Chains A and B, each alone.
Chain A
Amino acid sequence: MTAIQDTHIPNHEAGHADDHHHEHPSWLAHHFDDAEQQFDSGKLGMWLFLVTEVLFFSGMFCAYALYRNRNPEVFEFCSSFLNEKLGAINTGVLLFSSLTMAWAVRAAQLRQHQLLVGMLGATLGCAAIFLGVKSVEYSHKWELGLLPGRFYVPQIEGHHGAHHGYLEMLCIVPAIVTVLCAAYAVFSWAIKSTFHQQVSGPLLTAALCFFVGVFLGQYLEAQEEATKGHANHHEHHMSVQGHIDHDSHDHAAASDTHEHDHGSAPAPVAAVASSGGSSDVYVDSKELATPKPNVNKSTMAGLFFSIYYCMTGVHAVHIIGGMIVISWLIVKAARHEFHEQYFGPVDNVGLYWHLVDFIWIYLFPLLYLIT
């Protein structure tokens, strides 16, 4: 709205809403009176869609809050398996992609078509790096058996997991996409079409960026392994356990004031017993006597990884969706379709992209930075 006013719509195109027989430019849908109405409708529609997206994620944030409140020690234990360096890099990559996306909107308004294609390509590349890093994280966890719910494999000290080739599997589709993009790029150079070159260039670069992400992720993951080492890892793990022990005492003490009906029982155990479901697992074990429950099992850590995979997985699906729409924008941008009166699609995809970025900004500390 304000952007449209800033860029001075020529009067002869916008001021004839009452004239039924005025010429509609090709970018103005027939049922809209003028550019402003079309832009406002698109923008309001996108904001409403973002509201639904927030509510969609809110279900998972609720589940997160419920189970973290019930079993804080599980979240601390499991968070130590997440590599915060990779998370931080992905946060940076997404933040940078938000910058390039915002820049793309500006370029669209100013008819800077080359810059627009470049900025959209950069955004697409960042998204691909993000997914590359995420693939390394996922495959690494799967090899360790850090799987959701009932598939969770309890962790053994010093065990580094078997090589199942999960990363290779995750790379199959991006590899195919890269080959297709490369073929398209060769084709566009062969027929010397500027339009096809402008489209295939960013797409191929972005596809290759996925593998940049994969190598970056693997390098950092290997570094993390090396610094922890075999002996170190043991020590580190013990310290994590000690920390949990300490914290659950704290929590039990704190819960006395809040949950008086649970008496002096340690809060995690009491909470589990009150949930009713898996008390059989607990009552006949010795854990009621000791304040430290074993969290390294599918009914405990498994639940964390369920939430982790649901949240990051749905987020990743949104990244992929965003990549598809950005690719569509690149095609339109290469056709020089956008100008100061018609940049709504870039603006709205930008809004969507910022939201996807925004959700990650919450996911990163909530999942990676617990301890």
Chain B
Amino acid sequence: MSVVDRPLASPGYSEADSYPTHHFLNHSHGILSWALTLDHKRIGLMYLVGVMSSFALGGLFALMIRIHLWNFQDGWLSNKTYNQVFTLHGAIMVFLFIIPSIPAALGNFLLPIMLGTKDVAFPRLNLMSFYLWITGLVFFLAALSITGLDTGWTFYTPYSIDTQQGGAVLAATFGVFVLGFSSIFTGLNFIVTINTMRPPGMSWFRMPLFLWALYSTSIIQVLATPVLGITVLLLSAERLLGIGIFDPKLNGDPVTFQHFFWFYSHPAVYIMILPAMGIISELMSVHCHKGIFGYRMIAYSSIAIALFGFLVWGHHMFTSGMADVTAVVFSALTFTVSIPSAIKVFNWLGTMYQGTVSLNTPMLYALAFIFLFTIGGLTGLPLGALSTDMHFHDTYFVVAHFHYVMMGGTLVAFLGGVFHWWPKMTGRMFNDKLGIVSAIIVFVGFNLTFLPQFVLGSRGMPRRYATYLPEFQPLHQLSTIGSLTLGSGLLLALIVLLMSLVNGKKAPRNPWGGATLEWECASPPPHDNFSSAPTVGDPYDFSNIEYDGKTGGYVKRA
């Protein structure tokens, strides 16, 4: 790597190891040293490249959808292609991007460093889960290129049993099965690592909140994903052997499929959002240079969300036919999830109050998260309420709602996290001004895309339609303009990150002034993370962290 050979940036610099010449990126060389690595940092980076590529692919499909919907009829795609495009957009974004994005990429990189350990508990399992992810990706690409999948990302029966695209359904369900195990193994690894490898002095309540979030996420991954595994396995058996369990033609019950599917896929929503909330907890505290407000409540609320998340899957199925009592119970439980979510939002606001807020790129993404997630959360209430859901079900209102939570929430937090830890991962500072511009464009573009969709949905525009009534056209066009703006903002963010690799300044150990252990590690970290065991303190105590003009970063006062 070229990073090694450069001279030190500042000549008057005293700490010899702050700009390390030897680190995990140049620890060993060659393709195989990456492909067969057991180092959690390299696996994390490979995941990062993988999930970002998947996101680019899914995003391309999203833009195809939006451009197709410019006119109310005769879009540039055939109706059949349109069905395949929105299916692949959903399936790729959910299974290949959002679910692995934060835990597998950022979590893998940061969890052992935040714990002050050399690696996760099972490094080989970690590498295996990456290759399972690659295998899942290959099957998805097969589904994409052979025939094209047209079932929607939910694979609802009986359509998924009857559709002509049988090969694609099989390839995609097998891909989902494999990706599920990738996710399970990551979760299992994290739980074990956090349980058995915390350093002396790091009690549960001295863990960084990002780790609490990852821990809660891992619990869901371990408990919910196997159910998805057996569901898609039965669906494959349905297509191959005609077992009939979900097939009404053979006396099976298609609604059972929906129950099985959502038993996983609702908790999976929390697999997506909980790690994002963990990132925001870190970003808020560090960039406000102030201890997190309500540490324990945030930690407990993560666990509460993980547990409540298992009891609310029925709210996806209010119109599929269920007993009235069941529907009321599911609806009531759905509202209870809003309590821990609101606890988090209020605690973040409490953290900002009287803090010294640095309005840099990661912080702007974090602020965007709070705004967008709040809108996403509040529009969930009319969807959780039985009477209004009857009207909103399967409309653009739902589409806008979950994009506010999934994209406005998880993706924006992911970007914030990537910018926040980018100096740590690569040893390079990015251009903060351009980063801020990207955050603003993403924020504006996002709202321009999805706010009109709330209006469209409440006026009755159904989701997944290739054509629509002419009166919806202005709002659809507004949304399409927004999506292009959003796309260019994301592209700018990518360019800012890549540019930093070319001409970015060398990153100091602690560029933002964080107090968690990863900032005590060199940027980028050495192969074994810590040359000697770090001392564990309060992860949100900023009282003895001060700016050091020589390195351009922060140092801990002795």
Please report A residues at the B interface, Cβ cutoff 8 Å. Answer: 18, 20, 29-32, 37, 40-41, 44-45, 48-49, 51-53, 55-60, 62-63, 66-67, 148-151, 272, 275-278, 298-300, 302-303, 306-307, 309-310, 314
Q: How far is the CB of A162 from chain B (nearest CB, A)?
A: 21
Distance in angstroms between the alpha carbons of A306 and B252 in the assembled complex: 11
Q: How far is the CB of B181 from chain A (nearest CB, A)?
A: 9
Distance in angstroms between the alpha carbons of A365 and B125 in the assembled complex: 36
Q: Are B196 and A56 in contact (CB under 8 A)?
A: no
Please report B residues at the A interface, Cβ cutoff 8 Å. Answer: 117-123, 125, 184, 188-189, 191-193, 195-197, 200, 222-227, 229-231, 233-234, 237, 241-245, 247-254, 256, 260, 532-533
Q: Are A310 and B234 in contact (CB under 8 A)?
A: yes
Q: Are A151 and B188 in contact (CB under 8 A)?
A: no
Residue of A nearest to B181 (CB): A52
| Residues in chain B near residue A62, CB distance under 8 A | 260
Q: Are A31 and B226 in contact (CB under 8 A)?
A: no
| Residues in chain A near residue B225, CB distance under 8 A | 52
Q: Are A53 and B250 in contact (CB under 8 A)?
A: no
Residue of B nearest to A306 (CB): B243
Q: Are A150 and B121 in contact (CB under 8 A)?
A: no
| Residues in chain A near residue B191, CB distance under 8 A | 44, 48
Interface of A is mostly: helix
Q: Are A299 and B251 in contact (CB under 8 A)?
A: yes
Q: Can you pick out 6 interface pairs between chain A and chain B where the beta carbons lie within 8 Å of each other?
A: A41-B196, A52-B184, A56-B226, A58-B226, A59-B231, A151-B241
Residue of A nearest to B230 (CB): A59
Q: How far is the CB of A13 from chain B (nearest CB, A)?
A: 18
| Residues in chain A near residue B196, CB distance under 8 A | 37, 40-41, 44
Output the residue of A151, A306, A314 with the most chain B CB within 10 A. A306
Q: How far is the CB of A352 from chain B (nearest CB, A)?
A: 14
Q: Are A51 and B223 in contact (CB under 8 A)?
A: yes
The 10 nearest A-B residue pairs measured at CB: A277-B248, A306-B243, A59-B230, A150-B242, A149-B244, A299-B251, A56-B226, A31-B118, A55-B226, A31-B119
Distance in angstroms between the alpha carbons of A310 and B240 in the assembled complex: 12
| Residues in chain A near residue B119, CB distance under 8 A | 31
Q: Are B256 and A63 in contact (CB under 8 A)?
A: yes
Distance in angstroms between the alpha carbons of A303 and B244 in the assembled complex: 6
Distance in angstroms between the alpha carbons of A148 and B256 in the assembled complex: 18
Q: Are A306 and B197 in contact (CB under 8 A)?
A: no
Q: Are A66 and B256 in contact (CB under 8 A)?
A: yes
Q: Are A275 and B243 in contact (CB under 8 A)?
A: no
In-complex Cβ contact of B227 among A20, A55, A275, A306 (8 A): A55
Q: Are A299 and B227 in contact (CB under 8 A)?
A: no
Q: Are A41 and B122 in contact (CB under 8 A)?
A: yes
Distance in angstroms between the alpha carbons of A60 and B225 in the assembled complex: 14
Q: Are A20 and B532 in contact (CB under 8 A)?
A: yes
In-complex Cβ contact of B252 among A55, A151, A277 (8 A): A277
Distance in angstroms between the alpha carbons of A150 and B251 in the assembled complex: 10
Distance in angstroms between the alpha carbons of A309 and B237 in the assembled complex: 10
Q: How far is the CB of B58 from chain A (nearest CB, A)?
A: 27
In-complex Cβ contact of A275 among B118, B241, B242, B248 (8 A): B248
Residue of B nearest to A150 (CB): B242
Residue of B nearest to A74 (CB): B251
Q: Are B250 and A52 in contact (CB under 8 A)?
A: no
| Residues in chain B near residue A275, CB distance under 8 A | 248, 251, 253
Q: Are A306 and B222 in contact (CB under 8 A)?
A: no
Q: Are B260 and A299 in contact (CB under 8 A)?
A: no
| Residues in chain B near residue A309, CB distance under 8 A | 241, 243
Q: How far is the CB of A157 from chain B (nearest CB, A)?
A: 24
Residue of A nearest to B195 (CB): A44
Distance in angstroms between the alpha carbons of A60 and B243 in the assembled complex: 12
| Residues in chain A near residue B188, CB distance under 8 A | 45, 48-49, 52
Distance in angstroms between the alpha carbons of A310 and B123 in the assembled complex: 33
With A31-B119, A52-B225 as known contacts, state yes or no: A148 contacts B260, CB within 8 Å.
no
Q: How far is the CB of B200 from chain A (nearest CB, A)?
A: 8
Distance in angstroms between the alpha carbons of A309 and B119 in the assembled complex: 41
Residue of A nearest to B187 (CB): A48
Q: How far is the CB of B314 from chain A (nearest CB, A)?
A: 15
Q: How far is the CB of A296 from chain B (nearest CB, A)?
A: 13
Q: Are A303 and B197 in contact (CB under 8 A)?
A: no
In-complex Cβ contact of B251 among A30, A272, A310 (8 A): A272
Q: Are B192 and A44 in contact (CB under 8 A)?
A: yes
Q: How far is the CB of B247 from chain A (nearest CB, A)?
A: 7
Distance in angstroms between the alpha carbons of A314 and B241 in the assembled complex: 14
Q: Are B250 and A45 in contact (CB under 8 A)?
A: no
| Residues in chain B near residue A56, CB distance under 8 A | 226-227, 229-230
| Residues in chain A near residue B122, CB distance under 8 A | 41, 45
Q: Are A59 and B234 in contact (CB under 8 A)?
A: yes
In-complex Cβ contact of B241 among A30, A52, A148, A307 (8 A): A148
Q: Are A277 and B223 in contact (CB under 8 A)?
A: no
